[in-house]
Amino acid sequence: MPLTNSHQNIIDPYIKIGPDDSLPAEGALLVTLAVWQDHWERLMRRQELIGVQLTSDEHPEIISDDIDQLDLIALEFPTFRDGRAYSYARLIRERYGFTGELRAVGDVLLEQLHYMERVGFNSFEVLSNDPATDFEIAANDFTVWYQTSGDQRRTATMLRQGKKNHG
Amino acid sequence: MYRYDEFDQTLINERAEQFRRQSARRLDGDINEDQFKPLRLMNGLYLQLHAYMLRVNVPYGCLSAHQLRRLAHIARRYDKGFGHFTTRQNIQFNWISLTDTPDIMTELAEVDMNTIQSSGNCVRNITADHYAGRARDEIEDPRVWCELLRQYSVLHPEFSYLPRKFKLALTGSPHDRAAVAVHDIGLRLHHDNQGRPGFEVIVGGGQGRTPVIGKTIRQWIEPRHVISYVEAILRVYNLYGRRDNIFKARIKILVNAIGIDKFRKLVDTEWEQIRDTGLQVSNTEFERINAHFLPPDYENLADQGDELAAKRTREPAFDAWMRSNVTGHKVPGYAIVNISLKAPGRIPGDISADKMEHVAALADQFSFGELRVNHRQNLTFVDVRQIDLYLLWEQLVALELATANIGLASDIIACPGLDYCALANARSIPIAQDISLHFANSGKLQQVGNLTINISGCMNACGHHHVGNIGILGVNKRGKEYFQLTLGGSADEHASLGIRLGRGLPRAEVPGAIERIVDTYLTIRQATETFLQTYRRIGIEPFREAVYGPVNVSRRVA
């Protein structure tokens, strides 16, 4: 699946590992929660990049103690209508303090990229020939935001206040 | 009322432009209807039986004369010359083309209006007491909080894909005119025992297939924390609300499934984490918004006594209108005036473009250029000088907008029903027309007094039938329309859900059944009892018997 961060199209360095796959000796791995839990000690010892992918039924609190060990957390959108991962993303960033790559995977639509970026996602798997261009379009639709959220953008209220303070 | 500043304006303009690009991609075939559907729904554009319908937000029912003129223009230029006010204090246009929609959004943005989130599984238009800021019994004006919550919810990145739609309503009066108990969140401003203002938070109310009276999750919360508390509720709902079945996805199902105590615990745990963050409402922001809601320049007037009384004596029609449509104002010498959109035989909530313009002119002349849309699908002038009441009434009579029936049996709520709606099972509008004409001809309207009749064309309950004193639900049985009656519903501070009276009736039998119910009430009421009071005293049986005949003796024994 084509992948982009907030600047450019990227080649995914991670190998996806499900419960039926054997663990390769080398390489960056993106594992399911079951694999993470089953092979926790072995995976923690590896020096290479490691990520966990969660379904929308899997609350990230389960991995909150391991956050510092992870390079990537991928959250699945089983359908674009399932908005749980927006809340998960905020918890992962703002409450559990994750600073690595937070990836949106699954049914990810162009129009949602902006919301996803606002709650803390910084990479996106999009069914598109050029996801970076999609992101560029979606991210520039708006220049004003009412809400505080994971991306630290200044809200309309903060901008009003700043304007007042600086004449 | 709230006016956009440069930041609000920029956001609304950008949203209109975004939709212009999205609809161009749809018209060019770059995206298909399945992909376009969620985009248009988030902008209030529905595909109905015959055309697109566009729902325009009227935030907490506040509308300026200037905005109403723009709505009239839109009705005339892009629709068939009329609009329809809804139970969410919004206006719908029923005959819209997709190609015109971006232009309509731009025209709305020019007058501080939008269609954002008037549909979709997100926070919908926030509703409020239509007498907010003016009612004599009001404790605090909720409109500043309505506006803060409006801004908070618009394009919220986390809560735009909730399990299902989400509706908030606010009131600042002990007498609930905003039906807060049948909303996903109802907020009621009141004072604690030390006289400090705060919100009672009610959660998990709703109508639809599974009607539920909301439960109090918190008796009192400081107003500055209300947004963080709402966020905590939304986050718990977003995470734990059901997504496997859209008929079980509203927050009321979650609250009922785990119980209010467990739900409260989840919310409070979440709230503790966020209550002291940037979600707290600062005094600066409160004051900035409050400045938009300062009272107009009232004159120093006394209440009109003798002169008004003399006119009422001389003119019985004026007296009837005064009794039902006019109510007290917190400022001496002023009154609140309701304009009924329920003339006998007309479509509840419908108004022509011409009449919109006339009403706008009257609002300029008599009520500081502002008006309210109320959830019973009528309009309200909230600042009329009492010395102007007679003159205003005469002008309303000339416009055929002086129907004296606010709160009476012909002030019927009705959804658009099968005449427009793709979800409906039965037509609501003709039933409303039949009943209102029936009451107009019977002359019993004033005698019957306060009585709410609410009609929904399907179990989604957009016509609020569960909380009508008499509710009417359209159903389809083997291709034929039938109407089920419920009795005893109420949407006020003593909210209750109606009880089913019996088997569904064909359309032709509905007005007669209503008549027998009302006659039964008139026969057995005591002193000044309203219909609802009588019903609550004696129960449903006499009414059931009046409609379906005496209960079979053998059945009674069994």
pLDDT at B523: 96
| Residues B18, A142: C-beta atoms closer than 8 Å | yes
Assess if residue B405 is contained within a domain: no
Asked if residue B120 is part of any domain, the answer here is no
Q: Which residues contact B490 (CB under 8 A, 6 or more apart)?
A: B452, B467, B469, B496, B532
User: How many domains, in total, are found in chain B?
Assistant: 4
Burial of residue B403, with CB atoms counted within 10 A of its CB: 0-12 exposed, 13-18 middle, 19 or more buried? buried
φ and ψ of B521, to 5 deg: -60, -45
What is the edge-to-edge ordering of all strands in the sheet holding B470-477? B413-414, B453-456, B470-477, B480-487, B499-500
Final residue of a structural domain among B289, B314, B349: B289
Question: Please, which pLDDT band fits residue A152 given cuts at 50, 70 and 90?
Answer: confident
Residue B47 belongs to what H/E stretch? Answer: strand B45-47
Q: Is A83 on the interface with B (CB under 8 A)?
A: yes
- Strand, coil or helix: B98: helix
Q: Are residues B147 and B274 in the same domain?
A: yes
Structure confidence at residue B34 (pLDDT)? 85
Asked if residue B343 and residue B244 are part of one domain, the reply reads: no
Question: What SS3 class is residue B363?
Answer: helix
Strands (DSSP E) contained in B57-196 are: 62-64, 82-85, 91-96, 127-128, 168-171, 185-191
Co-location of B513 and B480 in the same domain: yes
- Give the span between the Cα atoms of B318 and B308, in whole angstroms: 10
Closest by CA to A73, choosing from A45, A31, A35, is A31
Beta carbons of B14 and A156 less than 8 Å apart: no
Burial B179-200 (b: 16+ CB within 10 A, else e): bbbbbbbbbbbbeeeeeeebbb
Question: B185 lies in a domain?
Answer: yes
Residue B404 included in any domain: no
Q: Are B530 and B451 in contact (CB under 8 A)?
A: yes
Same domain as B344, residue B220: no
The minimal CB distance from B157 to the residues A86, A141, A156 is found for A86
pLDDT of residue B81: 97
Among A83, A90, A159, the residue with its CB nearest the CB of B161 is A83
Q: How far apart are CA B125 and CA A84, in angstroms?
A: 22
The answer to whether residues B171 and B253 belong to one domain is: yes
Reduced 3-state DSSP string for B113-150: CCCCCCCCCCECCCEECCCCCCCCCCCCCCHHHHHHHH
Give the pLDDT score at A165: 63
Contacts of B158 in chain A (CB under 8 A): 83, 86-87, 90, 115, 119, 147, 149
CA distance, residue B373 to nearest chain A CA (Å): 26
Residues 135-154, chain B, touching A (beta carbon < 8 A): 151-152, 154
Cα separation, B109 vs B11, in Å, equals 10
Q: What is the pLDDT of residue B145?
A: 98
- CB-CB under 8 Å, A95 with B273: yes
Residue of A nearest to B157 (CA): A115
Please check whether residue B299 lies inside any domain of the structure: no
3-state secondary structure B12-26: HHHHHHHHHHHHHHH
User: H or E stretch including A57?
Assistant: none
Length of chain A: 167
CB < 8 Å to B39, chain A? 111
Beta strands in B226-360, from DSSP E residues, in sequence order: 326-328, 334-339, 350-352
B336: nearest Cα among B362, B372, B302:
B372
Pick A83's closest partner by Cβ from B8, B238, B273. B238
Q: How far is the alpha carbon of A53 from chain B, nearest alpha carbon, in Å?
A: 17
B76/B193 same-domain check: no
Indicate whether B417 and B541 sit together in one domain: yes
Q: Phi/psi at B342 (nearest 5 deg)?
A: -130, 45
Is residue A167 predicted with pLDDT exceeding 50?
no
Could you give the domains of chain A? 3-141 (3.20.20.70)
Residue of B nearest to A112 (CA): B157
In the listed set B233, B262, B289, which residue is the last one of a domain according to the structure? B289
Q: What is the pLDDT of residue B443?
A: 85
**Residue B301 belongs to some domain of the structure:** no
User: Buried (b) or exposed (e) across B209-244, using 16+ Cβ within 10 A?
Assistant: eebbbbbebbebbebbbbbbbbbbbbbbbbbbbbbe
Please give the pLDDT value at position B212. 96
**Cβ-proximal residues to A36 (8 Å cutoff; 6+ apart), any chain:** A43, A52, A63, A66
What's the rounded mean pLDDT across residues A12-38?
94
In this structure, what token pair is assigned to residue A12? Answer: 């995914």
**CA of B162, closest CA in chain A: separation in Å?**
6
Residue ranges of alpha helices (H) inside B399-484 are 429-442, 445-448
**Do B270 and B317 have their domain in common?**
no
Contact in structure between B214 and B258 (CB atoms under 8 Å): no
Q: Is the pLDDT of residue A19 over 70?
A: yes
Q: Is the pLDDT of residue A163 over 90?
A: no
In a shared domain, residues B140 and B285:
yes
The set of residues, in sequence order, having a beta carbon less than 8 Å from that of A17 and lying 6+ positions away, is A23, A24, A29, A30, A31, A32, A35
Interatomic CA distance for residues B285 and B226, integer angstroms: 14
CA separation for the pair B306, B312 (Å, rounded) = 10
Q: Which domain holds residue B54?
A: 6-109
Residue A120: exposed, middle, or buried by beta-carbon count in 10 A (0-12, 13-18, 19+)? buried
Same domain, B392 and B454: no
Triad B11, B14, B15: Cα angle to 5°: 85
Backbone angles phi, psi at A9, to 5 degrees: -70, 140
Using an 8 Å Cβ cutoff, are A109 and A138 in contact?
A: no
Give the CATH number, domain containing residue B60.
Answer: 3.90.480.20
Mean pLDDT by runs of 10 across the 558 residues of chain B is 96 95 91 88 91 96 98 98 94 95 97 96 96 96 97 96 97 96 97 95 95 97 97 98 95 98 98 93 95 97 90 96 97 98 94 98 98 96 98 98 96 91 90 93 91 95 95 93 96 95 95 96 95 97 94 52
Question: The domain spanning residue B260 has which CATH number?
Answer: 3.30.413.10
pLDDT of residue A90: 97
Question: CA B448 → CA B274, B451, B535, distances in Å?
Answer: 51, 7, 13
- Do B445 and B552 have their domain in common? yes
Residue B510 lies in a domain: yes
d(C-alpha B371, C-alpha B536), whole Å: 35
> Is residue B1 in a domain?
no
Average pLDDT over residues A134-156: 87
Residue B437 shares a structural domain with residue B525: yes
Q: Domain end: B228, B255, B289, which one?
A: B289
Tens-digit pLDDT profile for residues B281-338: 999 999 999 999 999 999 999 998 888 999 999 999 999 999 999 999 999 999 999 9
Closest approach of A63 to chain B, Cα-based (Å)? 17
